[in-house]
Amino acid sequence: AFTPGPGLQIVGAMKRGQRTGTSIRYWHDARYFETGASLDAEAVRLKLRNTAFLVPGVSYLLRDHTGEEPVEETFHFPNGLTDMVEFLAPAGDRPVSGTLLVTGEGTYRENAADANGVMQSNVQRRAEVEIAFRWGTGYERTVECFTNTIRNAHGGTHRKGFERALARALADAARAARGLLRPKEDAPTLDDVLEGMTAVVHVRIPEPQFTSQTKDELSTAGITKVLQGLVEAHVKAWLEDRRTKAEARTVLQKIVDAARVRLTQKQQKDAARRKTALEGASMPAKLVDCRASGIDRSELFIVEGDSALGTGRLARSAEYQALLPIRGKILNVQKANLQQVLDNAECAAIVQVLGAGSGRTFDLSSLRYGRVLIMADADVDGAHIRTLLITLFARYMRPLIEAGRLYAAMPPLHKITTRGRNPQTIYTYTQAEMEATVRKLEKAGRQIVTPIPRFKGLGEMDADELWETTMNPATRAVRRITLDDVDAAERILELLMGEKVEPRRNWLIESADRVDRDAIDA
């Protein structure tokens, strides 16, 4: 100890039965400090509080006379690290588990200097370990680390051993537990395990090594394996103990939920980056654009297949009608997230061509076309494609439907032509309508060209027929898609393509008697 005076002196001996203890009083000598230097009372308070937690049998009384009024505070925590975990836990954080306490000893080897300063190899060291931790309902993590009661603000090798063992044991347990992880779902990571955790790690070791003179980080390498062994053994016993099995299951569920939230957030970020890239990219090569740049007259036809595209290209008005072909059935977005939607080539092309974004960032004012028309065949496959597209718009471009700008083209099924001086062409859209029209014409004495052609697809029409029935605004049959159509489409998709088998089986059984087998298009 340094003193400018005669040094420390013995002032007397303790009498038998006299109360023992250590009392420290000091005043800093202004001659040895910068002008205006003062004692950091809070730092002293923190040191005494931490030491009282780490050495539970000791009480500390702090009397601070530096202020106008003296302050007196006692630090005594009989439950040690358990009390410290409760103290450090965030306010309002409800426990998900009780506080787990890991205590034990272990040995490790390292190179060290002997009393004469000579380096000795493979010196055996003994470590005492005490760890307390618990999980709460919050999201913050607090892991405080100490070596021989010295706080290590940046952790170190003891923290690494604790966290590594904890992550491994709980990830293995999550994989092994029934009903926790879904098939092909990744096991939780360290970040998932530590979410909502409050922990204190304290080791007592001889001659600890630190990364710097401030002792903020322990660097003694051998201590890592000591902690790994103790923590893994304790956690496995806790997981298997009947008395704590329910608590352990709750913790595992919390960790798995944290992993799912993390992955969902990552997917959303990835999707946002991809969406931005799509919106800023050039138009797909397969887009047949129109000359009009404003949305007052411009229309986008989403057409099914290349054959329909070829006829549509000849039939359209290039001034204001654009065509975007899609290949077959698009992704069922009812079962997909935004990332999967944007990874699908057909869905991504639609988002890109419309130019208004998708999801929460969809901006109707940025739309490149005034109307969007779904042009699919008038058969079962065409109805399926229409339903999938309606669901895509409802999920990720809903304002388009709310503004009344989404339509379904209604191509005819039949073309009835009469003979005579004034030949007439009539298009019908259902079998019943065709039969009723034939009866009416025959009753009126008109001769009908037979056989009556049935259009199996848009590609079977010639350009004039497609223009007249489906593309000419003056004569075409189209139906505006409303939110009622959206509800119906989503119900049908959920029934026919959802994950639940029972409702689909019941529907098939109940509907079997209502099927007209002669009308099946196969």
User: Going along 361-441, which residue ranges are E strands?
Assistant: 371-375, 406-409, 414-417, 425-428
Beta bridge partners of 300: 322, 372
User: What string of pLDDT tens digits covers the 522 residues of the chain?
Assistant: 456 666 667 777 878 877 777 777 777 777 777 877 777 888 889 999 999 999 998 999 998 887 788 889 999 999 999 999 999 999 888 999 999 999 999 999 998 777 676 677 788 999 999 999 999 999 999 999 999 999 999 999 999 999 999 999 999 999 888 888 888 788 899 999 999 999 999 999 999 999 999 999 999 999 999 999 999 999 999 999 999 999 999 999 999 999 999 988 877 776 665 555 445 556 788 899 998 766 778 999 999 877 788 889 999 999 999 999 988 778 888 777 777 888 888 998 999 899 888 888 888 888 889 999 999 888 878 888 888 898 899 888 999 998 999 999 998 989 999 888 888 899 998 888 999 999 998 888 888 888 888 887 787 888 998 999 999 999 998 999 888 877 777 777 677 766 677 877 887 777 777 666 555 554
Helices (runs of H) and strands (runs of E) counted in the chain: 15, 14
Which residue, 108, 119, 135, is CA-closest to 203? 108
Residues shown for the chain? 522
pLDDT for residue 387: 86
Q: How far apart are CA 106 and CA 459, in angstroms?
A: 79
Find the domain containing 96 and state its range. Answer: 82-111+119-266
AA identity, residue 485: D
User: 189 and 204 share a domain?
Assistant: yes
The residue assigned the tokens 């998932």 is 192
Measured in whole angstroms, the distance separating CA 270 from the mean position of its chain's CA atoms is: 10
Beta pairing class for 150-151 and 142-147: antiparallel
User: 306 and 395 share a domain?
Assistant: yes
Answer whether residue 16 is part of any domain: no
Distances (CA, A) of 445 to 54, 414, 420, 451: 107, 20, 11, 18
DSSP class per residue in 277-319: HHHHSPPPTT-B--S--STTT-EEEEEEHHHHHHHHHHHS-TT
pTM: 0.55
User: 347 and 382 share a domain?
Assistant: yes
Angle, helices 81-88 vs 41-54, to 10°: value is 130
Answer whether residue 174 is part of any domain: yes
Measured in whole angstroms, the distance separating CA 195 from the mean position of its chain's CA atoms is: 15
Domain boundary among 53, 75, 97: 75
Answer whether residue 274 is part of any domain: no
Domain boundary among 221, 240, 266: 266
Which residue, 417, 476, 470, 427, is CA-closest to 447? 417
Number of domains making up the chain: 4
Which residue, 411, 403, 271, 288, is CA-closest to 347? 271
pLDDT for residue 282: 64
User: 168 and 202 share a domain?
Assistant: yes
Answer whether residue 192 is part of any domain: yes
Buried b (16+ CB within 10 A) or exposed e, 25-37: eeeeeeeeeeeee
User: 71 and 86 share a domain?
Assistant: no
User: 422 and 389 share a domain?
Assistant: no
User: 370 and 386 share a domain?
Assistant: yes
User: 158 and 137 share a domain?
Assistant: yes
Beta bridge partners of 304: 326
pLDDT for residue 498: 66
What would the two tokens of residue 405 be? 């700008």
Q: How many Cβ atoms from other residues are within 10 Å of residue 53's Cβ?
A: 26
The residue assigned the tokens 């042009």 is 375
Q: How far apart are CA 336 and CA 333, in angstroms?
A: 5
pLDDT for residue 394: 87
List CB contacts of 62: < 8 A, sequence separation 6 or more. 44, 45, 48, 71, 72, 73, 74, 75
What would the two tokens of residue 345 be? 């080539």
Question: What is the C-alpha radius of gyration for the chain, rounded to an integer number of angstroms?
Answer: 39
Distances (CA, A) of 94 to 97, 198, 323: 9, 12, 58
Beta pairing class for 197-204 and 119-135: antiparallel
CATH number for 165: 3.30.230.10
What would the two tokens of residue 478 be? 């189209």
CATH number for 485: 3.40.50.670
- 166-168-173 Cα angle (round to 5): 95
DSSP state letter for 98: P
What would the two tokens of residue 384 be? 């399926």
User: 56 and 102 share a domain?
Assistant: no
Longest dimension (CA), the chain: 139
User: 348 and 418 share a domain?
Assistant: no
Domain boundary among 208, 235, 266: 266
Query: What H or E segment, with its residue span, contains residue 132?
Result: strand 119-135
AA identity, residue 89: A
What would the two tokens of residue 376 be? 């699919």
List CB contacts of 492: < 8 A, sequence separation 6 or more. 387
pLDDT for residue 522: 42
Coil, strand or helix: which one is 374? strand
Residue 106 contacts residue 116 (beta carbons within 8 Å): no
Start-to-end CA span in the chain (Å):
100
Answer whether residue 366 is part of any domain: yes
Distances (CA, A) of 67 to 39, 72, 133, 365: 11, 12, 37, 65
The residue assigned the tokens 């944007």 is 342
pLDDT for residue 499: 67
AA identity, residue 163: E
Answer whether residue 246 is part of any domain: yes
What would the two tokens of residue 257 be? 């939920």
Answer whether residue 517 is part of any domain: no
Which residue, 257, 390, 400, 271, is CA-closest to 337? 271
User: 403 and 429 share a domain?
Assistant: no
User: 43 and 95 share a domain?
Assistant: no
Answer whether residue 6 is part of any domain: no
Q: How many Cβ atoms from other residues are within 10 Å of residue 439's Cβ?
A: 10
